[in-house]
Chains A and B, each alone.
Chain A
Amino acid sequence: MTQPPARTRDHVAAALPDDTARAWFDEALADAARAAKAPPTAPTSYIAHTWELRFAAAGRHCGHDNADAVRTLLLVEARAGLDTLTRLYQHGSAAERRAVLRALPALVEGPHAVHLVEDALRTSDTRLVRAAVGPYAAAHLDPHAWRHAVLKCLFTGVPLDAVARLAQRAAGDGELARMLTDYAAERTAAGRDVPDDLGRVLTLTGEEPKER
């Protein structure tokens, strides 16, 4: 259950390459905090709020290794609501979309943002798939969509360690066990290896592999 742990502001600041990046990061968080306090104003269709421009530019200012964490912190600091999250996801690069997905558990109570998770799970970009199967998906994906997300991870080589609350959701899921068993049979019939993770999650279901 190891999505990368959420990094705090201090952790991120310590990881930034230099003081210029740290100053940029501080100003970006201050912009976001101001937006959170200001009365809501809709941006025009194409001109974004200042903190949203910084959200887009985080990679080149903070280093690409820090960008996901910086963007996620900006979303939380701005207390981005569902409309903003949806817009930033839909207008975002793949990296920006990942940050929106990672921020969902902190910002959205209830299943209203599940359409973003479902969108990411329809892509073939494993970086998006990986970001989609975090705690928000664990809490809100319906059983059918969640099982397909697990299967998609196996298909595309996303380690199942990325799937939040895997053990809890898999426990007693006979339908997931059947899907896993069928997938293993299909791989074996084709003379291909069965992914190591498959046996592990099958065990977590607590179901016996069924003969067909």
Chain B
Amino acid sequence: MRIFDPHIHMTSRTTDDYEAMHAAGVRAVVEPSFWLGQPRTSPASFFDYFDALLGWEPFRAAQYGIAHHCTIALNPKEANNPRCTPVLDALPRYLVKDGVVAVGEIGYDSMTPAEDTALAAQLQLAADHGLPALVHTPHRDKLTGLHRTVDVVRESNLPMERVLLDHLNETTVQHAKDSGCWLGFSVYPDTKMDEDRMVEILRTYGTEKVLVNSAADWGKSDPLKTRKVADAMLAAGFGEDDVDQVLWRNPVAFYGLSGRLRLDVPEAEGLHEGNSILRGGE
């Protein structure tokens, strides 16, 4: 079984996770730019983070036979912090990089005017750079947020079929599907979606344009949720081709819209004693 986790924050995960993910069948990930728990205070802090997503993290992933790409953006929450917003001016120099396969995560957190501005500006950046967009839908006041998100995307220069609406659930999936966007679901231990509800969604709405991710980060989350959804699908009577579509072909098709997806992992150079991450001197 081959698995593509289209949304996971590996910066917050250990090498044990990479090893377990590879053993579970994960061969490719996309790491979206997001907030870090602790608020940032300047654009320079974003630059170091973006550099890691384009340098250190793909190197770490390659040690474990996993292809790593990223999405770059100013996230919705920090779009409200005037100390952070100048990072918008620097995004073009990152959006041309080979490892960047979308603009994201953009979208709404608290639905403020500052978030309106950042979302519209970054949808335009995606259109200008030939990139699709990964759009986070808000956790609070979710259905209203989903409607507002779809309205803003519709008014932008980015076609709906180049947008992935993420963190959907039972209350938002129908409107999201009607919009023509790609449909993303995050499967979590306690919040967001779980495996069995995910299977029900797939039964009801089908497998077309549906992506499932672990969204694993620094909170309570599980980088193996993609595999657990695959197992739940098989147990519920879905075929292996359905699993391959949701957990491999759909994310490949969506991020492939960038023309920058590279799924052959370069042979990890200098594997140290077989499998441990290199530390440059222990």
Contact = CB atoms under 8 A, between A and B. Distances in A.
B269 interface: yes
A23 interface: no
Given A60-B259, A123-B280, A156 B272 contact: yes
Contacts of A158: 269-270
Interface residues of A, number: 32
Contacts of B271: 157
A156 B282 CA distance: 9
B25 to A, nearest CB: 24
Interface in B77-126: 89-90, 92-93, 96-99
B59 A94 contact: yes
Interface string A41-78: 00001111000010011111000100100000000000
Contact of A155 (B51, B58, B92, B280): B280
B98 A46 contact: no
Nearest to A122: B280
Contact of B55 (A46, A94, A157): A94
Of A47, A67, A93, A123, most buried by chain B (CB within 10 Å of CB) is A93
Given A64-B266, A157-B271, A93 B59 contact: no
Interface in A78-108: 91, 93-97
A104 B140 CA distance: 52
A200 interface: no
B98 A156 contact: no
B93 A46 contact: yes
B92 A46 contact: yes
Contacts of B93: 46-48, 91
Contacts of B262: 59-60, 64
Interface string B251-273: 00000000110100010011110
Nearest to B282: A155
B56 interface: yes
B262 to A, nearest CB: 6
Contacts of A147: none
17 contacts: A45-B89, A47-B92, A56-B96, A56-B97, A57-B96, A59-B260, A60-B259, A60-B260, A93-B54, A93-B55, A93-B98, A95-B98, A124-B280, A125-B56, A125-B59, A156-B270, A156-B280
Interface of B: 51, 54-56, 58-59, 89-90, 92-93, 96-99, 259-260, 262, 266, 269-272, 278-282
Given A56-B98, A157-B278, A94 B58 contact: yes
Nearest to A125: B59
A46 B90 contact: yes
A58 B262 CA distance: 13
Interface string A111-149: 000000000001111110110000000000000000000
B121 to A, nearest CB: 14
A178 interface: no
A7 to B, nearest CB: 18
A60 B266 CA distance: 14
Contact of A59 (B59, B98, B269, B272): B98
Given A48-B93, A64-B262, A93-B55, A124 B279 contact: yes
B278 A124 contact: yes
Contact of B59 (A47, A48, A127): A127
Contacts of A56: 96-98
A127 B93 CA distance: 23
A152 B278 CA distance: 11
Contacts of A130: 269-270
Nearest to A154: B281
Contacts of A125: 55-56, 59
Contacts of B259: 60
B281 A155 contact: yes
Contacts of B269: 126-127, 130, 157-158
Contacts of B98: 56-60, 64, 67, 93, 95
Which 6 A-B residue pairs are closest in the complex by CB-CB distance? A124-B280, A157-B270, A59-B98, A126-B270, A94-B55, A93-B54
Nearest to B52: A94
Contact of A152 (B99, B266, B281): B281
Contact of B99 (A91, A93, A122): A93
B15 to A, nearest CB: 12
Contacts of B99: 93
A130 B278 CA distance: 13
A156 B55 contact: no
A37 B260 CA distance: 32
A57 B130 CA distance: 13
